[in-house]
Structure 1
Amino acid sequence: MISDKKHIQQLAALLQQKGISDVVISPGSRNGPMIHTFSGSGLFNCRTVVDERSAAYFALGLAQANKKPVVIVCSSGTATLNYAPAVAEAFYLKVPLVVITADRPEYWIDQGENQCINQKGIYSNFVKKEYQLPLGETETELWQAANEINQCLNISLSGQPAPVHINVPLEEPLHQLADIDLPVVIEINEPQNIPAIDADLTQKLVDEINNSKKIVILAGQQNANKELDTLLTAFAKKTGAVVLKEHLSNLNSTQFCGNIDTMMAAILNDKVEDFQADLLISFGGHFVSKSLKQFLRKNKACAHWHLSPANDYYDTYQSLTRVIQADAASFFSHLHSKIFTQESPYFQRWKNKEEEVIGLQNKYVETLPFSDLKVTLELARRIPEYSDLHLGNSTPVRYALLANFNTTIRFYGNRGTSGIDGSLSTAVGFASVSEKLNTVLIGDLSFFYDSNALWNNYVGKNLRIVVINNGGGNIFSLIKGPGESPAFKQYFYAENKYSAAGIAQTFGLDYLCADNETNLNTALNDLYHPGRKKPTILEIFTDAEVNTNTFRGLFNFVKQ
């Protein structure tokens, strides 16, 4: 049984025909026709998540794991606003969500009707296309709607994937059902091919590469890609290019340079111009390292190319000279056979600096007290091979930059907008369809903020949540400014005196804790024991002042 609303039938039919089958529903009445149709047709994998904010982040994680769009469906009013943070994150993280919001008919807008706000254009800054279905169901209106829905769904996947929004005004009655199949609707397809780099441009690029003695390639956040890893390694060896990457780049060649934050600190004591690039090539998403961004903005490359299938004009380093519409693997494959092989003292200069920094860091951590940094380094050593690791924002993602993880680990994080509000929900959605062990490394404020992530029936037994509880927002004592303010403790640090134990009990998760190195060793053995079959929270208590001194001490040690 499905809704008798023809627009809803048609919308569901087109989603099904385009292979979009995962639907995350938040309960409501106004969205009843969509609920009836998606669940009643038997053609969709429907999940229920009550909290709309958490539901949208859950869907984001699900879309990342399945590598295809996920539908989110909510009622009208503030429910639609609660989707906004995750829609913005998906937009900047380039994840396709199909956002379907129920609405009152337009004649009820601003007329004092219940659960009624102006929903047209509500996500306009964070979607590639938006469309409001008509109320009427004439043949012409259904034809027009089918055309627009086709465009929305195609656009969500063309170029760089991104969310789209379909707003659905609905008149009562909302819950009349029909015992029929979904209709057959004409599906409009469009090519997804990215245009090839033409011969003239190819020659210009080859000439510039061959004439550049100091090339830096920035590999931003992306999913793991073995082909790209191989192609980029070969390209770097041939050109002498320096490839800078973070864990979220998911690249593992020993040819590349990590340890970026500590390297930047050490480079400040050298002749900075020796590390300045002639040519900068960037691709992928955001970089975490603020010091790298500052270095590249202050010491600008002569030329900066950004590779983007969607032609995004990302001028992060204020030196952009060319946008190349290509994905990274195609670009490096296309140019590899056409460029010269050349020796590069520039590459060796960077590698020597990295080796020096690693040596200094290893010496520093030998006497490290129990702290966030110590915990992160130990987790990096103990997390099982072939795991997925989800990094929370603020301090966890930054501490992870200082640790060396097994090369089989795959990294994820909400670095599109870098908020703390949905890291756990995203990880729960991802883990719900993953066959791997999924670990979440998250801070205490971020965990409590998003604890509704555990309020659903899809928290997998493969989920391990490591909460570093340092009693508040320790990030603000690590960066310059807030720590020196009289308002620091109450308004920046936001002291937290709560424990995750009660939340674990409420949602039926196992709970472990540690507050020293011995307890941590025991807890990690327990957390990652092969016999553990339940989702588990490990809460680790650290001292904020020790954390601050330890973190700052590392960078002072490297600088000196």
Structure 2
Amino acid sequence: MKCYSTTEKNALIVISLLKAHGIRYVIASPGTTNNALIGSIQKDPFFTIFSAVDERSAAYMACGLAAETNEPVVISCTGATASRNYAPGMTEAYYRKLPVLAITSTQQIGRIGHHIAQVIDRSVISNDVANFSVTLPVVKDEEDFWDCEVKVNQAILELTRNGGGPVHINLPTTYSKPFTEKEGIQCRVINRIGFNDAFPEISENSKVAVFIGSHKNWKKEETKALEEFCEAYNAVVFCDHTSGYRGKNRLFFSLAAAQELLNREEYLPDLTIHIGEITGDYPTLGMSGKEVWRVNEDGEVRDTFRKLRYVFAMPEFLFFAKMAKQAKGNPSKQYFEHCQNLLKSIQSKVPEVPFSNVWLASKMAAKIPAGSAVHFGILNSLRTWNFYDLPESVTSCSNVGGFGIDGGVSSLLGASLANPEKLYYAVIGDLAFFYDLNAIGNRHTGNNLRILMVNNGKGTEFRLYNHHAAHFGKDGDEFVAAAGHYGNKSHTLIKNYAENLGFEYLTASNKQEFEVVYQRFLEPKVTDKPMLFEVFTDSEEESEALKIMHRIEVSAEGKAKQVMKSVIGQKGVDVVKKIIKR
């Protein structure tokens, strides 16, 4: 018996993951658009397939089969109005929480609305027809493959989440021919695990890292549980200014992770435990392990590193406590120390940099008054200050949720209202500051507010040497970097505005001027006025400072990679990687 298979990768991904998740029952209705799926599985011994011409009947058959077997059941139909007939049976499944997976095949989505025969719009479905609905891409490249793989995993996991229920997958087809005798593809399986489920084990001698994105304030039991986990597995905890963790094995690793000419392979973990939310620590994002476990109460699939294997739907402290108890010993004894030594070595070699946000961080980060809070602007301020740690009693955060420049000063103001006796600092660029300028005119502004505004007359982010807009050079100033607005680095505009609002105004345009005034900005007590410290820098010096910080540590392998990239370009590097993988 020959088993033929489609070449359409989105259908192959569906088939692979149905098998991986153990979903074997299928009720198929006749049609053309679902031929890629049904034609590929009709002779596959894994699946048990039944035929039903009437889609309404097929959906109700699935309800009965799912209820009787306590297993998920797939229903498959073609385009036109076929899927409309699933609605009554899917509604039944919804209110009975039955795991029915409706895979509605369709022509390509771009054809919707163009009077093409048998094409209908399924982008919106009734609230009580499915718990989750997703449209898969036609897979043309690696990005599409990842997108499709994650979406199918998400859909399948929703069949049994929170008591279960029906799910909808919209599966486009390109009518590709011929069918082949090749075997299907293997996809990455993502599983969701509850606290009472069996936990996977961490392999002996594994290098384990915990990556913390932006995080709420840590409770004592949460810190204690993570510390015990670190002791059991000698885990590294990668943090930045939004992570908030101050316990054992904490490494503020952005400076080390950002080294462009260093081969970082030996410092990569085998397993990354991902907690917290969105991060702005882009360099350390590249320090993920071969496999990622996500731990969060929301139980959502967040494939940040594109290596997600498990989602642990539970509070972090329960996960860490349970994993610590089941540890069998023999973790990688040197991993934390190895990473720590690298970071210390790089920190000891930091050279002098030009007058810039990086230089400001080097002078001020360690001197922020004890017990203060610091808010960092998106993105250059957060990035550059991530190279330097803050005093242990200083808290810090950034608006990395929506990741926009529009509310940094207002967020600082709101936080400062909670405790008038506590100092609240902001480090923010000129575009972000002017965007939110009205905030400092609020009548509730307290004397505990202090703003460091780095004014380089543009969005210097877009003029940095490693930004893709750097291709335009100075031509990028006009529209990409939005230079010349807001007084074009006027030395009186903000001074007059701030002083008229009752702020104490400080300014510096070079290192010498900065040295004269900055200690006042770091006065450890709340003064009789809020402060605004405007520092004028140059975008070219900002770029040069960042390049220096990125190229402190050099290895032969790292240098070779950089040279290869400069010669053959990133596309060439990607081609070489693909060849090596083969």
If the length of structure 2 is used for normalisation, what is the TM-score? 0.57
1:358 aligns with 2:351: no
Contact 1:392-1:446 within 8 A present in 2 as well: yes
Counting aligned pairs with the same residue, the percent is 25
Give yes or no for contact 2:210–2:235 (8 Å, CA) kept in 1: yes
Select 2:275's aligned residue among 273, 283, 287: 283
Pairwise mapping of residues 425-440 of structure 1 onto structure 2 (< 5 A)? 425-435=410-420, 436-440=422-426
Amino acid at match of 1:385: A
Distance in structure 2 (CA, Å) of the matches to 1:327 and 1:522: 49
Pairing partner for 1:216 from 186, 209, 229: 209
- Which of the pair has more CA radius of gyration? 2
Is contact 2:294–2:302 with CA below 8 Å preserved after alignment?
Answer: yes
**Deviation for aligned residue 1:246:** 0.9
The Cα offsets for residues 535-556 of structure 1, whole Å up to 9 and x where unpaired, read as 1111011122112111112212
Matched, 1:443 2:443: no
Q: 1:261 deviation in Å?
A: 4.2
Task: Report deviation, 1:212.
Answer: 5.8
SS at match of 2:446: coil
Aligned match of 2:518 in 524, 527, 530? 524
Does the CA-based 8 Å contact 2:205-2:330 persist in structure 1?
Answer: no
Greater mean deviation of Cα atoms: 378-387 or 441-450: 378-387
- The AA in structure 2 aligned to 1:483 is A
User: 1:22-421 alignment to 2 at 5 Å?
Assistant: 197-198=195-196, 200-201=197-198, 204-205=199-200, 208-211=201-204, 213-225=206-218, 226-253=220-247, 255-265=249-259, 269-270=262-263, 272=265, 274-296=266-288, 301=290, 303-344=291-332, 345-361=334-350, 364=351, 367-421=352-406
SS of 2:550's equivalent in the other structure is helix
Bigger mean CA offset, 509-518 vs 498-507? 498-507
Partner residue in 2 for 1:126: none
The alpha-carbon deviation at position 316 of structure 1 amounts to 0.4
| Mean Cα deviation higher: 334-343 or 350-359 | 334-343
TM-aligned CA deviation for residue 465 of structure 1: 0.7
CA distance in structure 2 between the partners assigned to 1:470 and 1:253 by the alignment: 37
Question: Structure 1, residues 310-357: CA drift from partner, whole Å, max 9, x if none?
Answer: 112110011111111112222212332232333423333222222222
Displacement of 1:372 after TM fit? 1.8
TM-score computed with the length of structure 1 as normaliser: 0.59
CA distance in 2: counterparts of 1:433 and 1:525, whole angstroms: 25
Query: CA 1:294/1:343 → structure 2, altered by over 3 Å: closer, same or farther?
Result: closer
Q: 1:374 to 1:269 in 2, by over 3 A?
A: closer
Q: Residue 454 of structure 1 corresponds to which residue in structure 2?
A: 440
Of 485, 495, 511, the match for 2:472? 485
Give the secondary-structure state (helix, strand or coil) at the position aligned to 1:492: coil
The one-letter amino acid paired with 1:413 is S
Give 1:533's match in structure 2, choosing from 525, 528, 535. Answer: 528
1:324–1:426 CA distance, 2 compared to 1 (3 A):
same
The whole-number CA distance in structure 2 between the counterparts of 1:250 and 1:324 is 21
- CA shift, 1:240, in A, is 1.7
8 Å CA contact 2:208, 2:235 repeated in 1: yes
- Once the two structures are superposed, residues 113-149 of structure 1 have per-residue CA deviations (whole angstroms, 9 ceiling, x without a partner) of xxxxxxxx9xxxxxxxxxxxxxxxxxxxxxxxxxxxx
Partner of 1:181: none
Contact 1:246/1:401 (CA < 8 Å) preserved in 2? yes
| C-alpha distance in structure 1 between counterparts of 2:534 and 2:236, whole Å | 39
Distance in 1 between residues matched to 2:210 and 2:202, nearest whole Å: 12
Deviation at 1:485, TM superposition (A): 0.9
Q: Which structure carries more relative contact order (alpha carbon 8 Å, separation 6+)? A: 1
Letter in 1 for 2:443: N
Segment drifting more, 503-512 vs 548-557: 503-512
8 Å Cα contact 1:477/1:493 also seen in 2: yes
- 1:8-27 alignment to 2 at 5 Å? none
Q: In structure 1, what is the Cα distance between the partners aligned to 2:299 and 2:530?
A: 41
Aligned pair in 2 of structure 1 residues 358, 554: CA closer, same or farther (>3 Å)? same
CA distance in 2, matches of 1:265, 1:557: 7
Structure 1 residues 337 and 294: CA distance shift in structure 2, 3 A: closer
Shift of 1:291: 3.0
Shift of residue 433, structure 1, vs aligned partner: 1.7
1:463 correspondence with 2:463: no
The two structures, once aligned, show a CA RMSD in angstroms of 2.6
* Superimposed CA distance per residue, residues 81-115 of structure 1 (whole angstroms, 9 cap, x where no aligned partner): xxxxxxxxxxxxxxxxxxxxxxxxxxxxxxxxxxx
- Read off the aligned partner of 2:530 and give its amino acid letter: P
Alignment deviations for residues 234-270 of structure 1 (CA, whole Å, 9 cap, x no partner): 211221222111121011235222132433426x633
Q: CA deviation at 1:213?
A: 1.1
**2:257–2:284 contact (8 Å) kept in structure 1:** no
Gap change, CA 1:498 and 1:368, over 3 Å in 2: closer
One-letter code of the match for 2:269?
A
Is contact 2:253-2:284 (8 Å) kept? no
> SS state of the match for residue 249, structure 1?
coil
- Give CA deviations for 1:351-373 in whole Å, capped at 9, x if unaligned: 22222222222xx1xx3332221
| Ranges in structure 2 where 5+ consecutive residues have no aligned partner | 1-123, 125-161, 163-192, 556-582
Give 1:484 shift: 2.1
Which amino acid is 2:429 matched to?
G
Q: Which residue of 503, 518, 528 maps to 1:509? A: 503
Structure 1 contact 264–295 (Cα < 8 Å) conserved: no
Q: Which string of whole-angstrom CA distances, capped at 9 and with x for unpartnered residues, describes residues 254-294 of structure 1?
A: 5222132433426x63361x334332211101222323334
**SS across alignment from 1:557:** coil
Corresponding residue for residue 472 of structure 1: 458
Separation of aligned partners in 2, 1:410 and 1:378 = 18
Inter-partner Cα distance in structure 2 for 1:308 and 1:461: 38
Aligned 8 A contact 1:224 1:410 in 2: no
Amino acid in the other structure paired with 2:326: K
- Is the Cα–Cα contact under 8 Å of residues 247 and 401 in structure 1 kept in the other structure? yes
